[in-house]
Structures are given as C-alpha cells and as structure tokens.
Amino acid sequence: MTKTHRHRAVLKALFEGEHQSLPDVRLMLVGCNQGAKSWAGDHILQEDDVFTGRMTECVRQQRRVADRTVSVVMCPDWSTTPPSQKIKDVLLHGVTLCSPGPHTVLLNVPVWYGFSEADRRSVEEHMELLGDRVWRHALVLFTGGWWLGGRRVEEYIEAEGEPLRRILEKCGYRYQVLDCIKKDISEVKELMEKVEDMVTRNRGHLGPSNSREDSEWWNAI
C-alpha cells in the first residue's frame, strides 16, 4: 500500500502544473465478467442499461459526462484460456471504434472475485495482443466497490497478493474504484482526472493523431 501511494505521489510531483484537460475522452473496457463491465460502462456514462446482454462483438456508446464527451467501447469477455486469433480480431476492432486510438484501456477487476495466478497470466496474454506498449495506457478498474464494505481498496490489493500487484505494477500503479450501484459522479470525475494525468505523463502520445510512434504501434498490432 505504501509503495503504491509513494509511486503515485512521485508521478504527480513530476508532472505538477502540466495537467492536460481533454474535451473528449475515449475509453476501451476489457476483461472478464460482462456484468461487472456493463455496470462499469453504465456508471461511467451515468445512465442505466446502456450496455445490456452478452456481447460477442465490441460496442461503442457515447455520452456527455462531467463536461466532456466520453466514449466507452465495451469489449466481450475473455477467459483464463489462451487467447485465440478471434479474440485478437475482436480487440483490434475495439481499437478502431476508438479511432484514432483509446486514451485509456480500462482493465476490469471485480473486487468480489479472487485474483489468481491464472488470472494474471490471462490478463497479460490478452493485453499484450494490443502490443507491449499497451501497459502505459492501461488502468485497473476495480468494479463493485460496494462489496468492500468500507475497506480501503489498498487493503483488498494487499490481501489478493502477488498476482494482482504484478498487474498493478505493469499499469504504473494506476487504478480507480467504481461502486457501480450508486453511480457516484465523483468517482467518474476522479477517473477522468487520472486519464488526463496519464495523457500528461505520456506527453500526448496516445494515438495516430498525436504521435508517429503510437500511430505505428496501433497500425501494427
């Protein structure tokens, strides 16, 4: 917990005063448990039943939220089995729906499930279908915050152990909790600020419109 807070404090100090506000935000929501992802998408867009049913293809929805135009691309579930070419094709389609590229890839982790070593391997295998640079654009989204029952999310992280901590490390210790039942707008505002902080840290290198390097990346994966 201390290491996580220290790392985030260092990043904040390094880029203090350089915060970049975004008039529109493009988010790609990936991971397991379609129900939790759908709740998260509804929460972010501040509307009920935006994402419903079992998805086999990526779906994009857009709303005006917290003084920004927010686009969420919801991707189908993945499992703990090794990813197939079909899964890769689906994820790449999700990237095209975020054209010119997602600002952030939100990795769904429901807090009522244990996060095992098998989960860690699955997350890494699926995320890396989007290229090894995907991690600098990734943020762990802890869904179902109501389940924590007043506990700090850092306590949950510590309890889950090494597999979850390794994923957080790959994501630069970036994470956000969404209650998903109350749809608290303050949680969405915090998420938007973290996305903008990520943009600032990456110096705007988030997609074809901003960086030749990332243009080559998105086009190559």
- Greatest Cα pair distance in the chain: 45
d(CA 31, CA 141) in angstroms, rounded, equals 10
Give a yes or no: residue 13 inside a domain: no
DSSP letter for 2, please. H
Residue 3 lies in a domain: no
* Residue 77 lies inside a defined structural domain of this protein: yes
What are the structure tokens assigned to 132, written together? 């090894």
Q: d(Cα 55, Cα 103) in Å, to the nearest integer?
A: 22
Note the pLDDT of residue 218: 54
Q: The domain containing residue 134 runs over which residues?
A: 22-220
Q: Using an 8 Å Cβ cutoff, are 107 and 30 in contact?
A: yes
What predicted TM-score, i.e. pTM, was given to this entire model?
0.85
CB-based contacts of 35: which residues, under 8 Å, 6+ apart?
none
Question: Is residue 33 in some structural domain?
Answer: yes
Q: Is residue 67 part of a domain?
A: yes
43 part of a folded domain: yes
Counted domains in the chain: 1
CATH of the domain at 118: 3.40.50.300
Per-residue pLDDT of the chain (221 residues; tens, 9 = 90+): 555 555 555 545 444 555 568 999 999 999 988 789 999 999 999 999 999 888 889 999 999 999 999 999 999 998 878 898 999 999 999 999 998 899 999 999 999 988 999 999 999 999 999 998 999 999 999 999 999 998 999 999 999 999 999 999 999 999 999 998 888 999 999 999 999 999 888 864 444 334 444 544 455 45
* Residue 70 included in any domain: yes
**Shortest CA distance to 56 belongs to which of 99, 95, 86?**
86
In a domain, 5, yes or no: no
